[in-house]
């Protein structure tokens, strides 16, 4: 099988490339990534010389750059991970989210249609469903009600993917996963940011009252879910993915502090995120029952393993903490 994986230099995409290389060593992987601030080829050192792996630096919204990759008709499946993925950045600069997440997806759909790609998997997010109150879970039937420019752009992409199935009969699937954690996550996201700050005895900026809830899933379990959807997903179906691991942000931050032996006085309550979704929680019954998906990691072990990974990957982190990251950090946090 030949897979075109977009965003394969990002957090989940690179974990997925490594997962496929390990679990389907005979597959060919074409990794297409624009290498934005979030793309990092260091994540892929272990596969870069593999004869079945190739990397192409390209923007998914750039049709002319992508067409040659499809032109010989050899791509069997497209898995679209590429996206602008950070909610806080979408509040500062929504336009790039529309371009990459919506126009980029449409460009890929069009090429996949033209060159008769057999399967298109859109890696989406539970955030398209909006927010939950104290109770309830997101199912695949929950209406879309995105609240941030990021989630609105992902919902727009999902609707286009659905439309290409309805209109052109394309074999698509959409996965909607909850919050991932694990190796290679960019330190703008809660867990790596807090680990990094705690290691440096910097304050840990908790938004609002810290009681917003996320449903955490170890990234490898997300990868195994996408692998199943790729091979067994029914045409046109949406599959929710989540691990039943609801934690509020303060619980997450306290675990990190306790694992690193740092004091809770490092916690600093800062101005809340605009439009901050209160709670996400996934009902993953459909993928469990239809496709037999089972997550391998429980949260308590997964978070400890993740902290250990960041402790042993200080060089990886140092490379990221460049001027550009500091500039972002100052813009995001100085006035909170
Ligand atoms: P990330 O920000 O770590 O990685 C995104 C990757 O896409 C980067 O390598 C970046 O260079 C690349 N990219 C960005 N714009 C591009 C463009 N125009 N053309 C080509 N490549 C481009 O994101 P992530 O956390 O790994 O998320 C991957 C996907 O999974 C996204 O679609 C996201 O919406 C979805 N998702 C993420 C989570 C999560 O918790 N992180 C949960 C559910 C779904
Ligand atoms: O639910 C899936 C989504 O999870 C993905 O679609 C997104 O791509 C991914 O970024 C993530 O979105 P969140 O907004 O939930 O993740 P983030 O790590 O940015 O924030 C998690 C929670 O922590 C959220 O309630 C905001 C809070 N937070 C975050 C940061 C960065 C803080 O309190 N302080 C912080 O500094």
The C-alpha torsion from 282 through 283 and 289 to 290, rounded to 10°, is -70
Q: Which residues pair with 175 in a beta bridge?
A: 123, 239
Angstrom distance (rounded) from CA 171 to CA 152? 23
CA distances (Å), origin 86, targets 83, 186, 311: 9, 10, 23
Query: What ligand has the least distance to the C-alpha of 240?
Result: 1
Catalytic residue among 19, 150, 164, 184: 150
CA of 74 to the centre of ligand 2 (A): 37
**86 CA from centroid of ligand 2 (Å):** 7
CA–CA dist 278, 164 (Å, integer): 32
Q: Which atom of ligand 2 is nearest to the CA of 214?
A: 15
To the query of whether residue 126 is one of the catalytic residues in this protein, the response is: yes
Q: What is the pLDDT along the chain (336 residues), one digit of tens a residue?
A: 999 999 999 999 999 999 999 999 999 999 999 999 999 999 999 999 999 999 999 999 999 999 999 999 999 999 999 999 999 999 999 999 999 999 999 999 999 999 999 999 999 999 999 999 999 999 999 999 999 999 999 999 999 999 999 999 999 999 999 999 999 999 999 999 999 999 999 999 999 999 999 999 999 999 999 999 999 999 999 999 999 999 999 999 999 999 999 999 999 999 999 999 999 999 999 999 999 999 999 999 999 999 999 999 999 999 999 879 998 999 999 878
Q: What angle do CA 41, 309, 124 make, to 5 degrees?
A: 60
pLDDT in the model for residue 315: 94
Q: In testing the pocket of ligand 1, which one of 8, 9, 12, 178 has its CB within 8 Å of the most ligand atoms?
A: 12
**What ligand has the least distance to the C-alpha of 10?**
1
- For residue 113, the cross-strand partners are none
218 included as an active-site residue: no
Q: What is the CATH number of domain 2-181+218-241?
A: 3.40.50.720
Q: Which residue's alpha carbon is at the smallest distance from atom 35 of ligand 2?
A: 190
Distance 221 CA to ligand 1 centre (A): 17
Whole-prediction pTM = 0.98
For 196, residues 6+ apart whose C-beta sits below 8 A from its C-beta are 187, 310, 317, 321
10 within ligand 1 shell (Cβ under 6 A):
yes
**Burial of 200 per CB tally in 10 Å (0-12, 13-18, 19+):** exposed
Other Cβ atoms closer than 10 A to 23 = 11
Give 87 Cα–ligand 2 centroid separation in angstroms.
7
Q: Residue 161 CA: which ligand is closest?
A: 1
Domain ranges of the chain: 2-181+218-241
The dihedral sign for the CA sequence 12, 18, 20, 22:
negative
């Amino acid at each position: 099988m030949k897979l075109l994986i977009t965003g394969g230099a990002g957090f989940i995409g690179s974990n997925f490339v490594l997962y496929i290389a390990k679990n389907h060593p005979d597959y060919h992987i074409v990794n297409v990534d624009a290498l934005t601030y979030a793309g990092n080829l260091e994540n892929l050192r272990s596969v870069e010389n593999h004869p079945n792996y190739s990397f192409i630096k390209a923007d998914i919204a750039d049709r002319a750059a992508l067409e040659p990759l499809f032109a010989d008709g050899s791509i069997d499946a497209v898995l679209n991970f590429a996206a602008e993925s950070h909610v806080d950045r979408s509040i500062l600069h929504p336009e790039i989210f529309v371009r990459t997440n919506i126009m980029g997806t449409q460009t890929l759909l069009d090429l996949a249609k033209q060159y008769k790609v057999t399967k298109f998997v859109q890696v989406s997010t539970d955030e398209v469903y909006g927010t939950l109150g104290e109770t309830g879970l997101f199912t695949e039937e929950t209406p879309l009600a995105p609240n941030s420019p990021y989630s609105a752009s992902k919902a727009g992409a999902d609707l286009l993917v659905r439309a290409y199935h309805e209109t052109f009969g394309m074999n698509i699937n959409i996965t909607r996963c909850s919050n991932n954690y694990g190796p290679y996550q960019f330190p703008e996201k809660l867990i790596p940011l807090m680990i990094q700050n705690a290691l440096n005895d910097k304050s840990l900026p908790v938004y609002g009252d810290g009681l917003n809830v996320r449903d955490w899933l170890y990234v490898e379990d997300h990868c195994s879910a996408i692998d199943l959807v790729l091979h067994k997903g029914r045409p046109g179906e949406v599959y929710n993915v989540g691990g039943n691991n609801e934690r509020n942000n303060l619980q997450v931050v306290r675990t990190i502090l306790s694992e690193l032996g740092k004091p809770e006085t490092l916690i600093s309550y800062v101005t809340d995120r605009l439009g901050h979704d209160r709670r996400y929680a996934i009902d993953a019954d459909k993928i469990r029952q239809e496709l037999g998906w089972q997550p391998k990691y429980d949260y308590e072990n997964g978070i400890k393993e993740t902290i250990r990974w960041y402790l042993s990957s200080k060089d990886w982190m140092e490379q990221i903490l460049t001027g550009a990251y500091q500039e972002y950090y100052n813009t995001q946090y100085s006035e909170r």
